[in-house]
Structure formats: structure tokens, C-alpha cells
């Protein structure tokens, strides 16, 4: 095939269309990457075009583009289909990308069926064969099972590399990537001991996610402490991303509590002579005569025969101030 005459911008968009379908199923196989590299050379694109295309898709801001002439667009569609079929597994997300591109350039289902059949045959013809270790039949090298005897193929193509984490809907999930920081190894080993660990590739770096049930927040604290020297980290709570400092705003105080002679008394402020009735010194609402919260309320008349004045606290306002002051520390396991 002769190279396609495209501008530099078109070459980047052409390749980005391929990266979009390759990443659609949240996995990236070696076959898909190799095929995109082949297309890069065929359309005489530079490596910088390919890198720019990949980054455009990774950032999530790219949408399908039609480039060049109609013939170029059809060739782009053929390459999109080839990448989708490269790992012998057409996911629904990949099929959706193909359908969207067909709508973009005006290709009907009948035409797509012909293109898909042609591309599939070309891929099969270009796939090397090996002998089945059990029955000796010739099978494609990327096959997982022998079609003749059903035996598993030991040297089948490696599994795809995951591109995104499967964030658990409940509990806690901490993400971090490989680092030269001394605490990285400690954090990784601790994560493997405490919970289930996932790995993905992002920007050529290995990221890790450790999942921990909701009732084991103390384990979450231990990993958070180990990651204190690592900048690239994240935390999810019940499937939602949470600000790291907001979730772990209590750790410095909890660490002091753990080292206190009498931990419970520490929370009630006795060590600093700032006694509070709430069980958390971070409430900043001590039990002393100059505390503002003592003024939350009003005098009321009570009694049937002999009236007397009684101070009635405004409990809703006190509750509001407590909730406001303790919001940063709401995940502390010692806070009741």
C-alpha cells in the first residue's frame, strides 16, 4: 500500500483514532500496539505524531476525527477495525467506536460488514501458526485453545495490559505509582499484605490500587502513613474520589493519641488542660467559662407555682458548630 498523503495534523488525528479504539475496552494488547506502529510507518508519520496521538487519547479530551479524502477516511476505518480485531476479541466499547466512525464518514452497515470480513481475513493470513503440543495440529499462534483437541495453548499471546482501575463501589481504595522514594517499597509490601492489589500502566508507569473494606480503616491509615513521602497518590471512598488531605486530616492527631500515656484522656484534652465533653480536642469547644458555646441558648421561665429562670442550651447550634469544626477529622476512627 502506498503512503497516504496527509498533513502533520491529519497524521496525528489518524493515529489518535486508532488509539481511541485500542483503549476503548480499557485494555491494551501487544498486538494492538504493534499494529498501530505499523500504520504509523505506512502513512509516513513520525514517532512524535504517534506519541502526540496517544497522549491526546490518554488525557480524555479527544473525539473521533475524519481526516483527508474519503479514501483516506475509509482506509482509517479499515485500520480502526484491524486494531479492534487485533487481539481476537471485539468488545462492545470497540464496536461502539467503529459504529461512531462509520456514522461520521457515512459508511453503511453493509459496507462495514465487507470491510470487517476483509480485515479479519487479512489478520488471519498474517498470523503465524504453531503446532499443538497435544495433537500436533497447526493452529494460530495467538489461539488460547486448540480447535482440534481443545487443549490449552501454553504459549498463547500474553494478556492485555489494563489501562484503568476497577474502582470498588464500597470501602476504600488507595492508588499510587512506582517511585524512587524510600517509602514506596514499604507501602507496596504493606498493600499486598492488607488488601487486594490491582496494577495498570499509565504514561509508561506502573500504578497500583489497593482495596480495603470499610471496617478496616486502621489498615488504610497504615498505608497512608507509608505513602506520606510520595506525591502521586489518590484515595477513593465508596467509589468516589476524595481529597487526600481531607480524608487523612486527622492522622497527625491520631498519631499523637497513639503515643499518649492515656490515649482516651488525650482525646478529651486532659493532657493540655483543655477538657472537652465531646471526646475530641479538635472540636475546639472546651469546658470553661469563657467558651463561646456556653452562650448558645436563652433564659426561660419555668415552674408552675414559683417561676424561676433556667438557661436552655441551643442544642442545634451546638450540633452545627461541632459538625463544622470536626468535618476535617470525620474519618478519624477514634471519633465517636
Residue 26 shares a structural domain with residue 70: yes
Contacts of 148 (CB under 8 A, 6+ apart): 132, 135, 137, 139
Characterize 113-141 residue by residue with b for buried, 16 or more Cβ atoms within 10 angstroms of its Cβ, and e for exposed. Answer: eebbeebeeebeeebeebebeeeeeebbe
Q: Provide the residue range defining the domain that includes 137.
A: 128-160
CA angle 320, 325, 328 (to 5 degrees): 120
Residue 259 shares a structural domain with residue 298: yes
Residue 203 shares a structural domain with residue 149: no
Q: Which is nearest to 173 in space by CA: 226, 228, 230, 238?
A: 238
* Tally of domains in the chain: 4
DSSP string for residues in 65-96: ---SSHHHHHHHHHHHHHHHHTTS---HHHHH
Q: Which of 194, 213, 245 is the last residue of a domain?
A: 245
Convert the pLDDT of each residue in 84-118 to its tens digit: 988 767 888 899 999 999 999 999 999 998 998 88
- For residue 218, the domain's CATH number is 3.30.70
Residue 221 shares a structural domain with residue 112: no
Lowest mean pLDDT among 177-186, 236-245, 274-283: 177-186
Global pTM value:
0.50
Residue 62 shares a structural domain with residue 143: no
Report the alpha-carbon distance of residue 32 to residue 29 in Å, rounded: 5
Convert the pLDDT of each residue in 140-182 to its tens digit: 655 667 766 777 766 544 445 566 788 889 999 999 888 887 7
Domain-embedded: residue 17: yes
- Which residues pair with residue 145 across a beta bridge? 152
Retrieve residue 201's grid coordinates.
500502566
Amino acid at each position: 500500500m502506498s503512503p497516504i498523503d496527509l498533513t502533520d495534523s491529519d497524521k496525528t488525528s489518524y493515529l489518535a483514532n486508532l488509539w481511541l479504539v485500542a483503549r476503548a475496552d480499557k485494555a491494551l494488547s501487544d498486538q494492538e500496539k504493534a499494529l498501530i506502529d505499523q500504520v504509523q510507518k505506512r502513512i509516513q508519520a513520525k514517532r512524535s505524531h504517534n506519541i502526540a496521538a496517544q497522549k491526546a487519547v490518554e488525557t480524555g479530551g479527544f473525539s473521533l476525527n475524519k481526516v483527508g479524502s474519503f479514501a483516506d477516511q475509509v482506509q482509517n476505518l479499515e485500520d480502526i477495525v484491524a486494531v479492534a480485531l487485533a487481539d481476537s476479541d471485539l468488545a462492545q466499547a470497540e464496536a461502539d467506536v467503529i459504529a461512531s466512525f462509520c456514522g461520521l464518514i457515512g459508511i453503511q452497515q453493509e459496507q462495514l460488514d465487507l470491510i470487517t470480513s476483509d480485515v479479519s481475513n487479512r489478520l488471519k493470513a498474517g498470523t503465524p501458526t504453531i503446532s499443538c503440543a497435544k495433537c500436533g495440529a497447526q493452529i494460530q499462534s495467538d489461539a488460547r485453545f486448540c480447535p482440534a483437541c481443545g487443549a490449552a495453548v501454553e504459549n498463547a499471546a500474553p494478556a492485555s495490559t489494563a489501562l484503568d482501575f476497577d474502582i470498588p463501589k464500597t470501602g476504600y481504595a488507595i492508588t499510587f505509582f512506582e517511585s524512587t522514594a524510600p517509602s514506596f517499597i514499604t507501602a507496596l509490601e504493606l498493600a499486598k499484605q492488607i488488601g487486594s492489589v490491582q496494577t495498570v500502566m499509565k504514561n509508561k508507569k506502573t500504578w497500583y490500587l489497593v482495596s480495603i473494606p470499610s471496617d478496616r480503616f486502621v489498615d488504610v491509615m497504615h498505608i497512608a502513613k507509608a505513602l506520606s513521602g510520595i506525591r502521586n497518590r489518590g484515595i477513593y471512598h465508596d467509589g468516589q474520589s476524595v481529597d487526600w488531605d481531607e480524608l487523612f486530616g486527622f492522622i497527625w492527631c491520631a498519631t499523637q493519641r497513639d503515643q499518649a500515656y492515656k490515649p482516651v484522656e488525650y482525646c478529651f484534652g486532659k493532657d493540655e488542660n483543655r477538657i472537652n465533653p465531646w471526646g475530641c480536642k479538635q472540636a475546639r469547644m472546651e469546658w470553661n467559662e469563657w467558651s463561646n458555646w456556653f452562650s448558645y441558648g436563652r433564659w426561660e421561665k419555668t415552674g408552675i407555682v414559683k417561676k424561676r429562670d433556667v438557661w436552655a442550651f441551643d442544642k442545634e447550634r451546638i450540633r452545627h458548630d461541632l459538625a463544622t469544626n470536626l468535618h476535617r477529622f470525620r474519618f478519624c476512627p477514634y471519633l465517636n
